[in-house]
């Protein structure tokens, strides 16, 4: 089965080289940075509720993906086959594909919210192209992508089934209880990956995988590093806790001209970037407890800025007219 998948990737790269630029573009549309750009635009400028739903869903699906990657601990194609060109790279394990899983969840929720037939077709097409791009770029086997789509759809269905009953229970809590619920949820997401890592025992990444990845891409791999899992956990907490603390959710989205909303968006992203990259300069190096704690706090602060800090600032200083 693996040989067939490798042959497929080689054939795509050899006979459809003109697809490299489009596939890189579609791959970017599956990156966390792209999702954050869209979520911030929705939350600050258009539909706060949809932005919040997307943020929580992507935090959940990201945490699930990180845990499953460690649980399966399988390689990426370019780690094990020198004939496959690494047109992209990533230090984590391959199964399931985070791009495929995230795209199924993200575009699936948008389609469920919009409920226009043409948009549903567009959303399915986007999820397909994002997943397919990862196969072409040599960073995922087709089975990684298929598993990602299936898991992303399952997470989405679970989210849609539970968001109302769980949301009503949490909304009935005082603010302290809502923040505590957000914290417990974020811990559950993070601990899933640490539990999967503990289950591996003394298993180590094969030296041939590390050598192959470095030779093909020029970048070292560290798939047992759980900083991305901690980041997803921290973002979930910061965004959920910040949204709970926002006393006027959605009020700024209904106000202001297009130019005012554009200013909010640009300013909000600039501050978010300053928080993320500024705190990143202070982060301890390596996968040590201090680094994990700092990564969690860094992500939580960035998430809280999006859902609470920026809306509070906009409501006071640039409500718009």
pLDDT digits (tens, 9 = 90+) for 179-209: 999 999 999 999 999 999 999 999 999 999 9
Tokens of 163: 């968001």
Q: How far is residue 109's CA from residue 128's CA, in Å, rounded to a whole number?
A: 15
pLDDT for residue 255:
63
pLDDT digits (tens, 9 = 90+) for 261-291: 888 899 999 999 999 888 877 777 766 788 8
Q: How far is residue 116's CA from residue 93's CA, in Å, rounded to a whole number?
A: 36
Give the distance from CA 197 to its chain's centroid.
20
pLDDT for residue 321:
47
pLDDT for residue 52:
92
Summary mean pLDDT of the chain: 90
With a cut of 80, say whether residue 317 has pLDDT above it. no
Run of H or E residues at 282: none
Domain spans of the chain? Answer: 2-317
More confident residue, 126 or 250: 126
Considering only 1-5, 10-14, 59-63, 168-172, which range has the smallest mean pLDDT? 1-5
| Core vs surface per residue 171-205: b (16+ CB within 10 A) or e | eeeeeeebbebbbebbeebbebbeebbeeeeeeeb
**Whole-structure pTM over 0.85, yes or no?**
yes
pLDDT for residue 180:
95
pLDDT digits (tens, 9 = 90+) for 130-171: 999 999 999 999 999 999 999 999 999 999 999 999 989 998
Q: What percent of the chain has pLDDT over 90?
A: 64
DSSP H helices in the chain: 2-15, 20-28, 32-45, 48-72, 77-80, 98-114, 117-136, 142-171, 175-199, 207-217, 227-245, 258-280, 289-304, 310-317
pLDDT digits (tens, 9 = 90+) for 225-257: 899 999 999 999 999 999 998 766 555 655 667
Q: How far is residue 79's CA from residue 94's CA, in Å, rounded to a whole number?
A: 10
With a cut of 80, say whether residue 103 has pLDDT above it. yes
pLDDT for residue 319:
63
Q: What is the DSSP string of 227-266?
A: HHHHHHHHHHHHHHHHHHH-SSTTTGGGSS-HHHHHHHHH
pLDDT for residue 196:
95
């Amino acid at each position: 089965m693996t040989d067939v998948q490798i042959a497929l990737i080689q054939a795509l790269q050899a006979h459809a080289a003109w697809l490299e630029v489009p596939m890189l573009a579609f791959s970017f549309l599956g990156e966390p940075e792209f999702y954050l750009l869209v979520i911030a635009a929705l939350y600050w400028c258009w539909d706060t509720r949809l932005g919040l739903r997307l943020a929580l869903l992507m935090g959940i699906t990201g945490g699930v993906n990180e845990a499953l990657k460690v649980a399966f601990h399988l390689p990426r194609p370019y780690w094990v086959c020198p004939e496959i060109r690494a047109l992209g790279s990533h230090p984590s394990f391959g199964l399931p594909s985070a791009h495929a899983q995230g795209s199924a969840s993200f575009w699936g929720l948008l389609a469920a919210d919009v409920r226009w037939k043409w948009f549903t077709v567009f959303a399915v097409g986007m999820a397909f192209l994002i997943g397919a791009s990862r196969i072409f770029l040599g960073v995922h086997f087709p089975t990684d992508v298929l598993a990602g789509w299936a898991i992303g759809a399952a997470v989405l269905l679970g989210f849609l089934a539970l968001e109302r009953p769980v949301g009503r229970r949490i909304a009935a809590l005082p603010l302290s209880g809502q923040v505590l619920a957000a914290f417990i949820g974020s811990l559950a997401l993070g601990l899933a990956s640490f539990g999967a890592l503990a289950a591996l025992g003394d298993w180590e990444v094969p030296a041939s995988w590390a050598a192959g990845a470095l030779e093909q891409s020029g970048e070292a791999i560290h798939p047992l590093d759980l900083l991305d899992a901690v980041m997803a956990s921290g973002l979930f907490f910061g965004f959920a806790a910040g949204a709970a603390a926002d006393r006027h959710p959605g009020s700024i989205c209904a106000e202001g001209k297009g130019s005012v909303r554009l200013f909010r968006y640009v300013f909000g992203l600039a501050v978010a970037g300053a928080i993320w990259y500024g705190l990143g300069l202070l982060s301890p190096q390596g996968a040590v407890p201090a680094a994990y704690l700092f990564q969690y706090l860094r992500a939580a602060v960035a998430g809280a800025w999006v859902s609470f800090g920026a809306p509070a600032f906009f409501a006071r200083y640039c409500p718009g007219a």
